[in-house]
Amino acid sequence: MANSPAQLDKPQRGADGTLAKALAPEEIRAGEYVALLNVVYELPSFFWCDDAALVPREQPVRILFTPEDGSVPLKVKSVCLPYVLVKHPEGRKFTLDVRRSKLARLSTRFAKTTWKAIKSQRPRKRKRR
């Protein structure tokens, strides 16, 4: 049986899935959870067999990569565009340059569940007596 347009607009009860939303730099806010969608690397064009017919020698070549750990939720601590200070679930903090990184907003529920799972996997430090 086909769904009517009114039924398609209603969120489905019990549906656990959500979608990550790609963010423009100005949409990034402190306190939200994000993940890396892709990272841009720039390399000198002379790495490509020094063929000036393909790319001028002085122009960098941009390569888009999807990071292997891109699905790890990062918590945004502070924003000063184009830089974003983020915290990894393991506790380390680092900055991202949004000119080279594309970020996606994650649902809070997904991010918190993933953070707990990642934290439980890391070895615990023994307390000294």
Phi, psi of 18, rounded to the nearest 5 degrees: -135, 170
The contacts found for 94-100 with CB under 8 angstroms, 24 or more apart, are 96/36, 98/25, 98/28, 99/40, 100/39, 100/40, 100/41
Distance, CA of 38 to CA of 32 (rounded, Å): 18
Confidence of residue 129 (pLDDT cuts 50, 70, 90): low
Burial 39-78 (b: 16+ CB within 10 A, else e): beeeeebeeeeeeeeeeeeeeeeeeeeeeeebebbbbbee
Measure the CA angle with vertex 114, ends 107 and 83; round to 5°.
65
Distance, CA of 56 to CA of 49 (rounded, Å): 12
pLDDT tens across 64-115, in order?
999 887 789 999 999 999 999 999 999 999 999 999 999 999 999 999 999 8
pTM of the model: 0.73
Whole-number Cα distances in Å, 9 to 18, 106, 111: 15, 21, 25
pLDDT of res. 10: 44
Sequence letter at residue 43:
L
Q: For residue 25, is pLDDT > 50?
A: yes
3-state SS, residue 106: coil
pLDDT tens across 101-126, in order?
999 999 999 999 998 998 888 766 66
